[in-house]
A and B are shown apart, each in its own frame.
Chain A
Amino acid sequence: MVWKNFPPDFYVRVDKELCINCMRCIKECSFGVHEYDRKKELWKRHHEKCVGCLRCAAMCPAKAINIEKSRMEYSPHPVWTNKVRKDIKMQAETGGVILTAMGNEVPYLSYFDHLVLDACQVTNPSIDPLREPMELRTFIGRKSERFDLEEDSGASLKTEIAPNLKLETPIMFAHMSYGSISIEAQLSMARAASKIGTFMGTGEGGMHKDLYQYADHIITQVASGRFAVHEEYLKRGAAIEIKIGQGAKPGIGGHLPGKKVTKEISETRMIPEGSDAISPAPHHDIYSIEDLSRLIYALKEATRYKKPVFVKIAAVHNVAPIAVGVIRAGADAVVLDGFRGGTGAAPQVHRDHHGIPLEVAIATVDRRLREEGIRHWGSIIASGGIRCSADVAKAIALGADAIYIGTGALVAMGCTVCKKCYTGKCPWGIATQIPELRKRLNPDEGAKRAANLLEAWSHELKEILGALGLNSIESLRGNRDRLRGVGLNEIDLEILGVKPAGW
């Protein structure tokens, strides 16, 4: 008895009258759903294998395919949902941990969807961004408390200025490693980042040589597996990010199975072909804030204090004191990854049940850093589940300096969030290393679409600022007075530092 994915999630319906038997769907589906028996001249559709990516439907020249949510379900039960029953049956069969991808699927409350932005009316005029300059430029890194000038030198600066990243828009592409996504996907983001004047993250898979020419717009990553970490790699990027945790799987490490470590990936990660790439849960040299500080300064020393060093943590219960520790340890920015953050592969139990919402994390960290008088010591970069320019504006109003987008960027390049990245068979050529699939993403096209998304959001951000009567993104940062809560309780509002609508 095979219970895997029974009943199927999707039903593949092909309109026989429209179908021209071109066989295109067979080629398009990387999960082997469509099959044609030439002898019997019969089509077979393996519904149970369909992941609902819609690739075949989109590419079918006759537009004959419709992918429907399967109507066959177990007898309804509000607690023992179909998903729960299917998961149990699969685990009973395999004895394995359930793997999945992309972000948290449990419908926890979205604070973003319960916050609204203010707008100017009558007494405080709004600004038209088409007529007046709007400043989205953002600097990420440590800011000086005061500036001292050299004595008798006119205007030369005595204060040492810490290195900062200059962003033309407060939106960056999140760290997604080469190995989890294709080089075409990374190239698309690298080109878009350099065109727009922002940055992308390498993830922990190293920097492929094709990316070197965009290195000025690339943030390298140092994760617990230390793959590719090498003095040249550290010196090559614009900044370095130490990855402590990830919102999609707080507290656990990562594992790229040996069969995915191809020649090119092995070269970029600097590990043998075919060997497992294991990133342990903690960094072996970090068991305390003091140890974290040691790694931060080891990286600063190795790059002669020329690169800002960020530290990424998953948003968890005590995120505020942890983030304060990170900044006090010497980080130039703390990256807060909320529990809706995406991933190429994570055990479902961690993805869905660990961590806290990003909105709460931003608000508490920003407040705590201010209370301790060290908000200027480091920037706050928010990531995990940011879907639109309104989310960006709200994150900044809650206290973030800039944000990272991961899933959003992939969707711009074609991803349909089918959640099968970990299989390495991404039907849109993104989360895959298979040459035939990779061809589906043309980096020129990908770069254009990723850049368009940033341009569109930036434009909307300017419009939002205009409506708020502000002319720079700086004036929105931590400006919670321009937010109101709708349908949130008193404690939520207090934690977010936001008034209810009507006040």
Chain B
Amino acid sequence: MLQEFKKIIREEEDFVIIDAKGIYYRELNELINELILNGSKKFRILNVNGQRFIADGLRGGYYIEIYGTAGDDLGGFANGPTIVIHGDIQDGAGNTMNEGKIIVHGSGTDIIGHSMRGGKIFVKGEVGYRVGIHMKEYKEQIPVIVVGATAGDFLGEYMAGGRIIILGLEKRPEVEDIVGDWIGTGIHGGAIYIRGVITKDKLGYSANIKEIDENDRKIIEKNVREFCSYFGLDADEILKSKFTKIAPISRNPFAAMYSDSRENK
């Protein structure tokens, strides 16, 4: 395979550079996999144009730079790689990711970070609907999504853990909506932090507005600083803003829905 694709691969310092123009996703991913088996650790993939599943199921601390638009499920099931996208991402980036980082200089579409259990996603621009849906957490793994611009409806739906931070930069959160409706519908774990003030009518079933405490502030600060470091933004300025915290009304919002003939609860 490596022989076959010799023409589109070259090496520069410790990077392997792949020209993905016109390459089918399956071949591109197979190629990356072969290069990994061959010992390569850092990749720069040029002319990416919607190829799906890049870094899907990848285990280990690989570094992948993508120029162009990454296709669906970028970094799905990933377990450790850092992926930097100079362009946009599409649906399902970070789907069920366990560990790793996805840093996006452009924007994203729907269900980014679906069911992710660990790792971080930073999107400089905006994201679509149902972002962070069913995010989880497990022991010390607490996934984080930070979005620079806005997010669509159903943010953090069914969320069971993790943290989502929406900054709405270049918007004025006092007067403009930076997040769609039905925030945290069915949420039963984790927390969502939104810059500005959010009123209760924007929340979905089982979500509630909670007081921000010292620990929340630390989480916001740490992740906003990391976010800004990737995109050359001024963290201090952003951190001056007020944030609203949205968290579940309880950890077991669906108990008490059932009846049982023999158990007297």
Contact = CB atoms under 8 A, between A and B. Distances in A.
A276 B33 contact: no
B239 to A, nearest CB: 29
A298 B252 contact: no
Nearest to A257: B255
Interface in B97-148: 98, 111, 114-115, 117, 130, 133-134, 136-139
Nearest to A284: B133
B198 interface: no
B76 to A, nearest CB: 5
A280 interface: yes
Interface string B52-92: 11001111000000000000110011110000000000011
A423 B52 contact: no
Interface in B183-224: 186, 188-189
A334 B101 CA distance: 35
A95 B259 contact: yes
Nearest to A229: B96
B188 A285 contact: no
Task: Choose among A278, A284, A422 the residue with the greatest number of B CB atoms under 10 Å from its CB.
Answer: A284
B261 interface: yes
Given A231-B59, A294-B92, A90 B259 contact: yes
A97 interface: yes
A302 B77 CA distance: 7
A94 interface: yes
A276 B249 CA distance: 13
Given A298-B77, A301-B29, A231 B57 contact: yes
B259 A31 contact: no
19 contacts: A31-B262, A96-B258, A99-B259, A230-B79, A230-B96, A231-B77, A232-B59, A232-B79, A258-B251, A272-B189, A275-B189, A275-B252, A276-B253, A285-B91, A285-B114, A298-B76, A298-B95, A299-B77, A302-B53
Contacts of A98: 258-259
Given A49-B262, A231-B59, A304-B33, 7 more contacts: A93-B259, A231-B57, A271-B137, A272-B138, A276-B188, A278-B188, A301-B57
Contacts of B91: 285
Contact of A285 (B111, B157, B186): B111
A13 interface: no
A248 B73 CA distance: 31
A351 interface: no
Given A274-B251, A276-B188, A423-B263, A231 B136 contact: no
Interface of A: 2, 4-5, 31, 48-49, 51, 86, 90-91, 93-99, 225-226, 229-232, 234-235, 255, 257-259, 266, 270-272, 274-276, 278, 280, 284-285, 294, 297-299, 301-304, 347, 420, 422-423
B259 A272 contact: no
- Identify the 10 closest CB pairs spanning chains A and B, nearest first: A302-B57, A96-B259, A94-B259, A226-B115, A301-B53, A301-B56, A5-B261, A270-B138, A231-B57, A302-B77
Contact of B161 (A86, A271, A274, A303): A271
Contacts of A276: 160, 188, 251-255
Contacts of B255: 257-258, 276
A235 B56 CA distance: 12
Contacts of A49: 262
Interface of B: 26, 29, 33, 52-53, 56-59, 72-73, 76-79, 91-92, 95-96, 98, 111, 114-115, 117, 130, 133-134, 136-139, 157-158, 160-161, 186, 188-189, 251-264
Contact of B137 (A272, A278, A280): A272
B56 A272 contact: no
A278 B158 contact: yes
B259 A278 contact: no
A275 B261 contact: no
Contacts of B263: 423
A233 to B, nearest CB: 9
B259 A91 contact: yes
Contacts of A99: 258-260
Nearest to B255: A257
A258 B252 contact: yes
Task: Choose among A86, A298, A299 the residue with the greatest number of B CB atoms under 10 Å from its CB.
Answer: A298
Given A270-B117, A271-B138, A4 B73 contact: no
Contacts of A266: 138
B115 A302 contact: no
Contacts of B26: 301
Contact of A284 (B33, B111, B264): B111
Contact of B262 (A48, A259, A294, A347): A48
Contacts of A257: 252, 254-255
Contacts of B33: 304
Contacts of A95: 259
B257 A96 contact: yes
A70 to B, nearest CB: 13
B50 to A, nearest CB: 12
A285 B76 CA distance: 12
Contacts of B160: 271, 275-276, 278
A94 B264 CA distance: 10
Given A280-B134, A301-B29, A301-B56, A230 B261 contact: no
Nearest to B251: A275
A231 B259 contact: no
A495 to B, nearest CB: 36
A235 B79 CA distance: 13
Contacts of A258: 251-252, 255
Nearest to B72: A294
B130 A230 contact: no
Contact of A271 (B72, B79, B136, B158): B136
B189 to A, nearest CB: 6
B228 to A, nearest CB: 30
Contacts of B57: 231, 234-235, 301-304
A231 B258 contact: no
A294 B263 CA distance: 44
Contact of A231 (B78, B257, B262): B78
A272 B256 CA distance: 21
B149 to A, nearest CB: 22
Contacts of A230: 77, 79, 96, 98, 117
A347 B259 CA distance: 10
A5 B262 contact: yes
